[in-house]
């Protein structure tokens, strides 16, 4: 408790001191702290280890508005990618008389490089259900949906089993724990469309329609599922509500730097020694995250860092020099603000936390082509810039990657992405445009190399880069 009070004096302490305090106090884990316990997937073990205590506390002592206040105080930001403050989103929910309200859990985690929600749902299903329970209580939703990605074929079974267990123990159904609050949680499987992770497309899909994003406004908080007020939250966001209630919103807000409060799950993959899901408090630097043994463990075979996509495939790629230090020369931290420092010219985004590391052998053109192919495949085809533009970018990138490109193609690509970005109904257009834009912005010389050396580009094997020139970007010497 002494430490807890110390943590309150964050303003006067250095970041390192705060971090040390938090580490000692929390062991820096809030979501995954019990993930290692055997059988935590099942109700009994979860309950024995302090599960459903937050829900019990909410039912006993808190009013719905108080829960929203607590989440507001915590400064929790949406973990799905946009980073919108969750408490604010909840308070925007329209509450007309006689109209049901819905909470939808967005488990359609399809972003290449992101797999944190799968981990949560697979190993800690009851944490999500408890979070859903608290959030539903706070928002007044009596039917809550988990919209889960179709490719996660085995996870709905885990969730449904957990829901059945929770129901047996009186945490779901009618009159939960004698409070008079009713809640049913339904698991809905998606059919394999990335676009259904966009909240309005998710709602359309949930209604049984074609998963086309709706045109906003009206926003889901006013007219969402079945034209009723709806909140759509990411799995991790809802799971994070549990520790917020457990330790209190103000305590939660003390973790992290600035407006990036709390802990964040990062799913690290690519050329690192230890790929996996890591829970970080948002006080560590990117450099530490990549090279520390606690996290990614560095890059295998002693290779150098070339680039990194810090927040899932749709965010701009950053070369090593801009990844570790911002354009101003400050250390880049794993926070929403720091990763976005410098805008898209020299920064990137926290996104959904899909941390993809590329070592010196990886070809950025190949990587960009792969991403463009993905977005071309996943465009819903509703609005014209995205429908036509993603396919065009893919084909131009294919030409460049396979040594059939022209110098003018690089400018053409830039022009295409510029005309897609911001002109589409939903963010998929932006998501398709940003990686291409960033790749050309930071690695134009690699595109030019492909155009100038068509034979070498053709003979290259699956995008392994063997450039005659030294690396375009000075890799950090760590």
Binding site for other proteins (CB under 8 A): 193, 195, 210, 215, 217, 376-385, 387-392, 395, 412, 415, 418-419, 422-425
Between 157 and 415, name the residue whose CB sits nearer to other proteins: 415
**Rounded Cα gap, residues 176 and 365, in angstroms:** 55
| Pairing state between β 354-359 and 263-270 | parallel
Torsion of CA 50, 145, 260, 289, to 10 degrees: 80
**Rounded Cα gap, residues 312 and 273, in angstroms:** 19
- CA 92 distance to own-chain centroid: 22
Beta carbon of residue 452, minimum distance to other proteins (angstroms, whole number): 19
Beta carbon of residue 415, minimum distance to other proteins (angstroms, whole number): 8
Strand spans (E) along 149-258: 184-189, 230-234, 256-257
**Rounded Cα gap, residues 191 and 109, in angstroms:** 12
**Rounded Cα gap, residues 185 and 114, in angstroms:** 25
Residue 265 contacts residue 277 (beta carbons within 8 Å): yes
Between 85 and 391, name the residue whose CB sits nearer to other proteins: 391
**Rounded Cα gap, residues 107 and 187, in angstroms:** 10
Beta carbon of residue 451, minimum distance to other proteins (angstroms, whole number): 15
Lateral strand order in the sheet of 184-189: 184-189, 141-148, 101-107, 230-234
Between 210 and 274, name the residue whose CB sits nearer to other proteins: 210
For residue 106, what are the β-bridge partners?
147, 234
Beta carbon of residue 209, minimum distance to other proteins (angstroms, whole number): 10
Between 418 and 466, name the residue whose CB sits nearer to other proteins: 418
**Rounded Cα gap, residues 74 and 202, in angstroms:** 27
Between 162 and 393, name the residue whose CB sits nearer to other proteins: 393
Beta carbon of residue 422, minimum distance to other proteins (angstroms, whole number): 4
Beta carbon of residue 423, minimum distance to other proteins (angstroms, whole number): 5
Beta carbon of residue 141, minimum distance to other proteins (angstroms, whole number): 26
**Rounded Cα gap, residues 271 and 303, in angstroms:** 9
Between 333 and 383, name the residue whose CB sits nearer to other proteins: 383
Between 71 and 396, name the residue whose CB sits nearer to other proteins: 396
Beta carbon of residue 343, minimum distance to other proteins (angstroms, whole number): 13
Between 188 and 379, name the residue whose CB sits nearer to other proteins: 379
Q: Which of 433, 322, 337, 348 is nearest to 385 (CA)?
A: 433
- CA 414 distance to own-chain centroid: 26
Q: Is 79 helix (H, G, I), strand (E, B) or coil?
A: coil
Beta carbon of residue 191, minimum distance to other proteins (angstroms, whole number): 11
Between 150 and 248, name the residue whose CB sits nearer to other proteins: 150
């Amino acid at each position: 408790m002494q430490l807890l009070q110390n943590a309150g004096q964050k303003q006067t302490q250095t970041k390192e001191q705060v971090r040390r305090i938090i580490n000692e106090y929390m062991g820096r884990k809030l979501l995954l702290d019990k993930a290692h316990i055997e059988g935590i997937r099942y109700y009994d073990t979860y309950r024995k280890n302090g599960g459903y205590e937050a829900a019990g506390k909410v039912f006993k002592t808190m009013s719905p508005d108080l829960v929203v206040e607590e989440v507001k105080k915590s400064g929790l930001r949406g973990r799905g990618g946009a980073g919108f403050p969750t408490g604010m989103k909840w308070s925007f929910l329209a509450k007309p008389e006689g109209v049901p309200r819905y909470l939808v859990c967005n488990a359609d985690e399809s972003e290449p490089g992101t797999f944190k929600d799968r981990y949560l749902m697979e190993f800690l299903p009851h944490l999500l259900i408890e979070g859903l329970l608290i959030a539903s209580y706070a928002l007044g939703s009596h039917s809550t949906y988990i919209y889960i990605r179709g490719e996660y074929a085995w996870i709905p079974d885990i969730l449904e089993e957990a829901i059945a267990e929770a129901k047996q123990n009186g945490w779901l159904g009618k009159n939960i724990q004698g409070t008079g609050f009713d809640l049913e949680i339904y698991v809905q499987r998606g059919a394999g469309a990335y676009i259904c992770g966009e909240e309005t497309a998710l709602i359309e899909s949930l209604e049984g329609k074609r998963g086309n994003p709706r045109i906003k406004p009206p926003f889901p908080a006013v007219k969402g599922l079945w034209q009723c007020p709806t909140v759509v939250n990411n799995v991790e966001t809802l799971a994070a509500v549990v520790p917020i209630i457990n330790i209190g919103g103000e305590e939660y807000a003390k973790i992290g730097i600035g407006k990036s409060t709390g802990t964040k799950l990062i799913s690290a993959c690519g050329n690192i020694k230890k790929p996996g899901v890591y829970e970080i408090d948002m006080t560590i630097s990117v450099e530490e995250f990549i090279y520390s043994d606690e996290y990614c463990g560095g890059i295998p075979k002693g290779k150098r860092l070339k680039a990194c996509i810090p927040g899932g495939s749709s965010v701009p790629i950053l070369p090593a020099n801009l990844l570790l230090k911002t354009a101003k020369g400050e250390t880049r931290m794993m926070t929403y603000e720091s990763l976005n420092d410098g805008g898209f010219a020299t920064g990137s985004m926290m996104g959904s936390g899909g941390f993809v590391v590329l070592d010196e052998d990886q070809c950025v053109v190949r990587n960009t082509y792969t991403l463009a192919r993905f977005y071309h495949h996943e465009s819903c085809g509703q609005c014209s810039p995205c429908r036509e533009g993603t396919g065009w970018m893919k084909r131009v990138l294919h030409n460049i990657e396979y040594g059939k490109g022209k110098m003018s193609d690089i400018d053409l690509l830039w022009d295409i992405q510029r005309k897609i970005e911001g002109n589409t109904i939903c963010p998929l257009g932006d998501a398709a445009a940003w990686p291409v834009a960033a790749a050309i912005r930071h690695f134009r010389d690699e595109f030019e190399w492909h155009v100038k050396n068509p034979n070498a580009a053709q003979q290259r094997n699956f995008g392994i880069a063997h450039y005659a020139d030294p690396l375009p970007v000075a890799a950090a010497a760590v």
